Amino acid sequence: MSKTLNRRNMKIYTKMQKSMRAVTIAAAFSAIGIAYSLTARSEGKQPINIQDSELSSKTGSAMAAAAVPESASPVAFHNTEMPNAFHGLADNIISGSEYLSSTFNLIARRDTVVRILQIGDSHVRGHYFPGAVRSTLEEAFGNQATGNDVISYRSSCIATETGEPGIVYSAIGINGATTSRFLENDKIEEIKELKPNLVVISFGTNESCGRYDSTEHTRVLDSLISRLSAECNGVQFLLTTPPGSYKSVRSGRTYRDRRGRKRYAKVRKPNETTSQVASTIVKYGKDNNIAVWDMYNIAGGESNACTNWRNAGLMNKDQIHYTMAGYKLQGQMLGEAIIKAYNKYVEH
């Protein structure tokens, strides 16, 4: 080009060059696509759909279901009966279970270790809840991948691995924790070192205490999942909603204490914020293609969840935590929901 071109002409020329280059590149990719399509058809294959093969930026999971191994078959399990005191129950299933297909594919292959890690608050920290999930899954899929761990409140809930293929179910819980606690570096590193294929995220009870901000909860949950996706290659997620709890409120009745001071009597009422927390978790899962086990609504929802657990004698005196039997039932429910989702995967 002549050096006498002014700036305006140079800009026009540069723009024309870029346009021509873009057209050339597009044509090249189009030709490649046509060539592949023709080759695929001649070999009896389906041409690749780029959109279907993309990975979710948050979950690291293929949007299309992973192919089911030919040798895969459904597994038998014991369907736990719910107490007679429970009313208004919903089906014990995982919503969006198709987003767990990569994990289920690994389980179905039966030739590798599949690590599942549950993280959460005091419900998980007590170890009875995740311990029951582990027992339920091992009863269905076998326990050859783990050692004979004795799980209690004082023990670790990180499973001992034998090196054999199969499911390894572990848990990390912190009393009083909200989702944000696991955004801290020490917890991210601890999770990363365990190399999970699936992380079960079980928070919500502490989020429901005090003033609740759904937008902030969503932001923190999104940050946790985004960071774990970046740190743990190919990890998938299963969100769970909290079981429900009571809170103390003034009854309007007053009395005098021993010193003659006026006091307000308090009564316990179901914490209605739990319903908002559960809705936030469910919506986040639906909006981001992440599986959700909605324990709150499965166990009765806003109308019955709290009273169901209390009337069945499965809540502790504080009516926030649960008895050992209560946590065991919750763990069996989650374990069975995972098995149902797996069976659905292999049957389709």
> Taking 90 as the threshold, does the pLDDT of residue 71 lie above it?
no
User: What number of CA atoms fall less than 13 Å from residue 295's CA on the CB side?
Assistant: 31
What is residue 1's predicted lDDT score, i.e. its pLDDT? 44
> Is 93 in contact with 147 (CB distance < 8 Å)?
no
Q: Residue type for 180, please?
A: S
What is residue 263's predicted lDDT score, i.e. its pLDDT? 76
Share of the chain above pLDDT 70, in %: 79
What is residue 348's predicted lDDT score, i.e. its pLDDT? 81
Does residue 246 share a domain with residue 109?
yes
Does residue 206 share a domain with residue 65?
yes
Structure tokens at 42: 């001649």
Number of domains composing the chain: 2
Q: Residue type for 173, please?
A: G
Does residue 78 share a domain with residue 39?
no
Q: Which of 18-22, 42-46, 61-65, 313-317 has the lowest mean pLDDT?
A: 42-46
What is residue 250's predicted lDDT score, i.e. its pLDDT? 65
Residue 32 neighbours by CB under 8 Å, 6+ apart: none
Condensed to tens digits (0 to 9), the pLDDT of residues 121-131 reads: 999 999 999 99
What does the alpha-carbon distance between residue 310 and residue 304 come to, in Å, rounded to a whole number? 10
Does residue 129 share a domain with residue 3?
no
pLDDT band at 158 (very low <50, low <70, confident <90, very high): very high
Whole-prediction pTM value?
0.80
Does residue 317 share a domain with residue 200?
yes
Does residue 216 share a domain with residue 117?
yes
> Taking 50 as the threshold, does the pLDDT of residue 2 lie above it?
no
Residue 222 neighbours by CB under 8 Å, 6+ apart: 58, 284, 288
Q: How far is CA 92 from CA 3, 295, 321, 330, in A?
A: 75, 8, 21, 11
For 8, the enclosing helix (H) or strand (E) is helix 7-42
Does residue 68 share a domain with residue 36?
no
What is residue 58's predicted lDDT score, i.e. its pLDDT? 57
- For residue 161, count other CB atoms closer than 10 A to its CB: 14
| Residue with the larger pLDDT of the pair 334 and 247 | 334
> Taking 50 as the threshold, does the pLDDT of residue 24 lie above it?
no
**Which of 13, 31, 48 corresponds to the end of one domain?**
48
> Taking 70 as the threshold, does the pLDDT of residue 77 lie above it?
yes
Does residue 160 share a domain with residue 99?
yes
What does the alpha-carbon distance between residue 90 and residue 82 come to, in Å, rounded to a whole number? 11
Q: Which of 31-35, 79-83, 253-257 has the lowest mean pLDDT?
A: 31-35
pLDDT band at 65 (very low <50, low <70, confident <90, very high): low
What does the alpha-carbon distance between residue 181 and residue 307 come to, in Å, rounded to a whole number? 30
Domain carrying residue 6:
1-48
Does residue 81 share a domain with residue 24?
no
Mean pLDDT calculated for residue range 195-222: 96
User: What number of CA atoms fall less than 13 Å from residue 301's CA on the CB side?
Assistant: 9
Mean pLDDT calculated for residue range 139-160: 95
Helix (H, G, I), strand (E, B) or coil at 205: coil
What is residue 308's predicted lDDT score, i.e. its pLDDT? 97
> Taking 50 as the threshold, does the pLDDT of residue 10 lie above it?
no
> Taking 70 as the threshold, does the pLDDT of residue 32 lie above it?
no
Mean pLDDT calculated for residue range 103-127: 97
CATH number at residue 276: 3.40.50.1110
**Which of 31, 48, 65 corresponds to the end of one domain?**
48
What does the alpha-carbon distance between residue 171 and residue 160 come to, in Å, rounded to a whole number? 12
User: To the nearest whole number, what is the mean pLDDT of the chain?
Assistant: 84
| Residue with the larger pLDDT of the pair 229 and 44 | 229
Does residue 213 share a domain with residue 128?
yes
Mean pLDDT calculated for residue range 294-315: 96
Does residue 115 share a domain with residue 64?
yes
> Taking 50 as the threshold, does the pLDDT of residue 52 lie above it?
no
What is residue 111's predicted lDDT score, i.e. its pLDDT? 95
> Is 133 in contact with 169 (CB distance < 8 Å)?
yes
Does residue 161 share a domain with residue 15?
no
> Taking 80 as the threshold, does the pLDDT of residue 94 lie above it?
yes
What does the alpha-carbon distance between residue 114 and residue 124 come to, in Å, rounded to a whole number? 20
